[in-house]
Structure 1
């Protein structure tokens, strides 16, 4: 019988994964810590390993490195709720076979695990080139998904489409993919920089230069239909890998006849969707700190609570690109720490003053939400428990994500009874 080692400290998830393993006719062996998993791997051989990165005693990546150092290492699937790009790339570099983000879809994991158990040991992925450290930062769920796809794109030379608002980091992500995919020449063509009479010649030139290498087409949605046809023909010949970015709604353009449907599917073998900064304000502390350190490596410039509140209350129309500029502004005007609101760019300060504080914004949103709920006929007004559940559901979902999908840790942090929390998670979020 095949044997699968599950290294996961969350009991409920380990039990669910054990059930999946048994359905595949394999024997599950559970370890609740990294050291415990390594000790079990030393005592017996395993046909596959399911490994959480966020273990209580050590990083799962350290466990992965140790497992891979053996003479016949088992194939490993990484499971994490903390999917930074560095983690995803490092997992691929160390030879992880796949990378899954919490909350897990067990129906998706089962066929992947079945394939893993059928994989000959000689076909375990080889280690890739070492990634650049601290390339991109973000713990938000949508960024974790993007990091996972970026890591996949680094491991296979297929076309990749990167979409998102201007300034979110599409070009940076594409350059990471190109750099991590091996020693290939990278040629960049910016579609919206050339007038119509010159664009065709420049694209042809870039296609020629990128043969045997990688062509990055920025803002591919700005290509004219004839140039889209040229790109389609070039991709069918397969003489270069093509990466493309777009801040334009390509699917809408297809319906409008402004973008070729066949080109869209040629480009989007892998699709990296990078979220706007306003949708992941939880990433702002780490992002701002990293950008301040990059702009002033010899200075200690911590952000005050008031300054951080102002950053989180701002809508960031320019996304990460605007945050880079804002932190450069701080370095230029802040002579002593900590960074105060008056050290931030005027647009951010003005927005913070208008909205006062996030608590006030929350109160306004709550009043508007209650107005909408309570203006219906009296007989249809929801009871208090129903109203509370609607507020509690997104609150618990966000809190759980911040604690790596681990209810035990969340209950301890909230000083909440674990049984009560698990009941609420089951009733409101459908999580066991």
Structure 2
């Protein structure tokens, strides 16, 4: 498990120095404060896992500090340190929210064990709570909004049904793949789930990819190739971006959906396959069918059981939950402490339109996690396009209040400087390769180019 960060709040400097040395030898990160006021300031700044709090401080009592700690949105583990004979007071502190206590003089090994035990217990509790929350979601889908609850109910009903064709329509990045996996899991989690993006394969290879090919069917076909339809037999085939399927191949797919039989490329024998086919598109297939760019008969065959996936802007009340889930998930992935998202930051995230939907939100949280692991994310650390679109900041920066205008301008300039610095550091690490730099920042190459143009960067600054 991850080693804890520890804050010591005690005015005995010799004791603090001794504790810091011992805890750092255990590979813990340690901070110190010598009175209650600076201790609370350090908690808000450093967000420690564990606080060692003395009951007697020069400016206020340990009880007063403990009450302030317990009032925080996510209070750290607090272990009280009491003088000899103050056991009753320490027990009272535990009743008021402290996790444990130890009396002076104490054994260092005992204190280290106490810190580790409480920290490990907290981590296990958080992990169990997180897993339970994930299990309550449908295959990783998160949402408490009425729109999302309605969709999850439809997923449950359709997933358990005998429906063989399901059409998912919704904007890019809205979670269509997760919905497809959830539908599959509702029917038979152990059966094969085969996924292919129709837009990612060359047209001349797509038919062989889907239906397979016999040996010698085309140049380079030196052995029989099993197609995805055959591999998905008994389970689910998910065809993402179905609108990109060429018209001739649409006809072959329609025949398969009606007969459940197909021929491999270059083959004469018909092969049976019993599977569910889930298709998805970010385009309006009905409109395209009417325009003749998508087969109308195939559209109606696919549209037997349609599901519309809402954009993130249509379910704004889910944004705080999604952002918090991503923060925990990505922290576990990176092996670091999760970022903290204060209410004002969540409010700004909730007001943004998220044109890239859930994918864009996840990328944003990933970037913040990498750059500011374990820190509290103020509004000033959010990407400029999110800040600039926030109505609450626009209102506060109206012409009626010059001071607020000046502050907002300074904030935007500071963010631009930080972003430019991050981009230049990423470019330096990738030796100027923009594709690699974009990957390390968690954005697309096109988005990196756009941000560089906006910030006036050319890459020659390295």
Q: Normalized against structure 1, the TM-score is what? A: 0.50
Work out which of the two has the higher radius of gyration on C-alpha atoms and give 1 or 2: 2
